[in-house]
């Protein structure tokens, strides 16, 4: 037996957890992030200070540290993770948004929020939420709907079952997401005689489950019978490390591939079968191919509304779906033939099973034309010169040109994800890191640090709009503190450009989307001048402002030579925007309005909705 406090036992347990996939053994927990308050400083704080076997990292915002942990898990293909500890009350609830992001994106993070006293005798304690109908509720119950596993440790011996169960979920490809263990502040400090077995080194094997044999046989028959098959590559391709298998499969068969946001990078942009982005933010070739396809092979995708164009993407009356997904819930979507299995394993088995199948020459020629036409369009957007202020497309083109093959681009929200999904020429499976499951403003810089922690040998470029930057920029301090160099490109368009454009597209006038002074009762005054260069410098970054494409290129080349975080601020024009192609997104428009522009938008909306399909 080993007598430890609950907090000490948690730290001792976490540092001895390892994962094994494809005979590669890794320590599962890289570190424990934390911000200390009265609800965890004497418990988890004491344990982390006493036991240096689990590295502690001081962060600046609780939500941000969960974003960093999620990015780290994503960059390591969910084979590693980071724990996060907070005090009670606001420190805990600040993590709820991060928990939702991790769970929606199926990324493992371990959350250890402090909680109110289990013994209750001194209640209400500072920051405690009182409930007149129950004494067994705290703000930490908010984590229940956004966690894949939730528990409250009211007695020390509960760790004996809670910790292994937490690890089971964290290391499960099918069930992973945020795991929350609520830690009452008195229980954290309680001692108990724990069995030594709890702290032994434990190896969690991440399996590669195979698909059902009969379903696999049916899948290969469907593929052989198809005339216009199309692969939709989702994040599961990358998490399964299946890019090589996918490349071999589609090279052999000639089947084209389009990618979701999470799956971008599954194939290099210049692969002969690569049609690029799919859906609302997709390329014309990918969306036309999806519209006409008679067989969709979805690999590791959950078919979000952006991927399915709000259920309008697939218009062939006879279209069928084969879904390869580690999660049964996703493999059954769209009434598909469900191959609930590891992506790489099933791709390899299908490649072997279908023999010499190849799409016909007419389809191959059409795919080649789509590709050639799209590359010309990307070149056109990259080379379009306006301003200053310069266009967002020009900024993307310049950064893509100066970046190296293994560099990583990080982004999350605003108009940038749509433009990057279409335009970014990804050359490495991990070269494109987009958080779009939750599309959470503020993820970018925090996420960039998580990427850099996971891949310190890569240059990390964070593209962030001024709106997201103003929500959560303070992790620049943490990056500087820890020596994680980021290259941050801050695009200043004086507001929420993405939502401004959406507002106008639905017949409104963009109210609340420009950063302007209030004048005569509305935001119609001059643009608010925000000195982002001074702000970034005050946080410890090397920062510069540029105005032209030439200045931007020079600044980015210089940033690459820097040894610490650099912020390059560039003012960008709202127009011209990168257009949408062959797609639609369901954003409901007011059914009744006095504005003619809204009435007209409603008419277009009602007509477009007629193309939505439910597959049964």
10 Å CB burial of residue 385 (0-12, 13-18, 19+) is: exposed
What's the pLDDT tens digit per position in 573-616? 988 899 999 999 999 999 999 999 999 999 999 999 999 999 99
What's the pLDDT tens digit per position in 332-341? 999 999 999 9
Query: Which pair of structure tokens corresponds to residue 472?
Result: 């959560």
Read off the pTM. Answer: 0.97
Tell me the torsion sign for CA atoms 447, 452, 455, 459. Answer: positive
**Look-up of token digits 């499969």:** 249
Structure confidence at residue 521 (pLDDT): 87
pLDDT bracket for residue 176 (50, 70, 90) = very high
**Look-up of token digits 């293994």:** 406
113 touches 88 (CB < 8 A): yes
Out of 99-108, 171-180, 381-390, 447-456, pick the least confident: 381-390
302 touches 324 (CB < 8 A): no
| Rg of the chain taking only CA atoms, in angstroms | 25
Q: What is the mean pLDDT of residues 439-451?
A: 97
Half-sphere exposure of 126 (CA within 13 A, CB side): 7
Q: What is the mean pLDDT of residues 159-164?
A: 98
Phi-psi region of 359 (alpha: psi -120 to 50; beta: other; left: phi over 0): beta
pLDDT bracket for residue 509 (50, 70, 90) = confident
Q: What is the 3-state secondary structure (H, E, C) of 109-178?
A: EEEEEEECCCCCCCCCCCCCCCCCCCCCCCHHHHHHHHCCEEEECCCHHHHHHHHHHHHHHHCCCCCCCE
Over the chain, what is the mean pLDDT? 96
What's the pLDDT tens digit per position in 519-558? 998 898 999 999 999 999 999 999 999 999 999 999 999 9
d(CA 199, CA 415): 47
Among candidate residues 294, 315, 298, 319, the one with its CA nearest the CA of residue 307:
298
Burial 235-260 (b: 16+ CB within 10 A, else e): bbbbbbbbbebbbebbeebbbbbbbb
pLDDT bracket for residue 497 (50, 70, 90) = confident
Burial 433-468 (b: 16+ CB within 10 A, else e): bbbbbbbbbbbbbbbbbbbbbbbeebbbbbbbbbbb
What's the pLDDT tens digit per position in 339-365? 999 999 999 999 999 999 999 999 999
Phi-psi region of 310 (alpha: psi -120 to 50; beta: other; left: phi over 0): left
% of the chain beyond a pLDDT of 70: 100
Residue 239 has pLDDT above 90, yes or no: yes
Structure confidence at residue 594 (pLDDT): 92
Structure confidence at residue 501 (pLDDT): 85
d(CA 283, CA 472): 31
Domains and CATH numbers, the chain: 2-205 (3.40.50.970), 213-372 (3.40.50.1220), 384-571 (3.40.50.970), 591-616 (no CATH)
């Amino acid at each position: 037996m080993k007598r430890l406090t609950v907090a000490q036992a948690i730290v001792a347990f976490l540092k001895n957890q390892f994962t094994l996939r494809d005979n590669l053994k890794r320590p599962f927990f890289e570190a424990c992030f934390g911000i200390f308050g009265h609800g965890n400083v004497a418990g988890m704080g004491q344990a982390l200070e006493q036991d240096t076997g689990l590295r502690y990292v001081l962060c600046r915002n609780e939500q941000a540290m969960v974003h960093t942990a999620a990015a780290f898990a994503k960059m390591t293909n969910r084979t590693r993770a980071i724990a996060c500890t907070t005090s009670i009350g606001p420190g805990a609830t600040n993590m709820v948004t991060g928990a939702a992001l991790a769970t929606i994106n199926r990324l493992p993070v371990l959350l250890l929020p402090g909680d109110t006293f289990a013994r209750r005798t001194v209640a209400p304690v500072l920051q405690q939420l009182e409930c007149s109908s129950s004494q067994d509720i705290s703000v930490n119950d908010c984590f229940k709907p956004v966690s894949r596993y939730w528990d409250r440790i009211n007695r020390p011996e509960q760790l004996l079952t809670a910790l292994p169960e937490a690890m089971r979920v964290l290391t499960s490809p099918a069930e992973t997401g945020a795991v929350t263990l609520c830690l009452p502040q008195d229980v954290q400090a309680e001692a108990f005689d724990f069995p030594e077995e709890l702290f032994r080194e434990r190896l969690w094997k991440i399996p590669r489950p195979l698909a059902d044999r009969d379903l696999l046989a049916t899948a290969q028959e469907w593929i052989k019978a198809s005339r216009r098959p199309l692969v939709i590559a989702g994040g599961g391709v990358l998490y399964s490390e299946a890019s090589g298998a996918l490349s071999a499969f589609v090279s052999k068969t000639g089947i084209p591939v389009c990618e979701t946001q999470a799956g971008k990078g599954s194939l290099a942009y210049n692969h002969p079968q690569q049609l690029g982005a799919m859906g609302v933010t997709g390329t014309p070739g990918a969306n036309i191919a999806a519209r006409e396809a008679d067989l969709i092979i979805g690999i590791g995708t959950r078919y979000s509304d952006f991927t399915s164009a709000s259920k309008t993407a697939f218009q062939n009356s006879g279209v069928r779906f084969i879904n390869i997904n580690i999660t049964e819930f996703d493999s059954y979507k769209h009434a598909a033939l469900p191959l609930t299995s590891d992506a790489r394993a099933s791709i390899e088995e299908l490649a072997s099973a279908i023999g010499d199948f190849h799409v016909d020459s007419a389809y191959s020629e059409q795919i080649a034309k789509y590709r050639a036409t799209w590359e010309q369009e990307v070149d056109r957007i990259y080379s379009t010169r306006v301003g200053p202020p310069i266009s967002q497309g020009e900024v993307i083109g310049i950064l893509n040109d100066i970046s190296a093959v293994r560099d990583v681009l990080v982004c999350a929200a605003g108009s940038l994800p749509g433009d990057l999904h279409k335009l970014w020429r990804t050359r490495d499976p991990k070269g494109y890191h987009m958080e779009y499951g939750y599309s959470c403003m503020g993820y970018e810089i925090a996420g960039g640090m998580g990427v850099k922690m996971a891949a310190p040998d890569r240059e990390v470029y964070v593209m962030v709009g001024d709106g997201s930057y103003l929500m959560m920029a303070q992790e620049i301090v943490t990056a500087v503190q820890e020596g994680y160099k980021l290259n941050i490109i801050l695009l200043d368009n004086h507001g929420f450009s993405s939502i401004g454009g959406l507002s106008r597209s639905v017949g409104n006038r963009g109210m609340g989307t420009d950063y302007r002074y209030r004048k005569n009762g509305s935001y119609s005054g001059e643009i608010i001048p925000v000195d982002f260069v001074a702000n970034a410098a005050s946080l410890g970054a090397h920062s510069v402002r540029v105005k032209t494409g030439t200045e931007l290129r020079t600044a980015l080349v210089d940033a690459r030579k820097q040894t610490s975080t650099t912020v390059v601020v560039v003012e960008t024009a709202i127009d011209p925007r990168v257009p949408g192609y062959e797609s639609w997104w369901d954003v409901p428009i007011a059914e009744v309005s006095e504005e003619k522009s809204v009435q007209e938008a409603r008419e277009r909306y009602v007509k477009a909705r007629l193309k939505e399909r439910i597959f049964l």
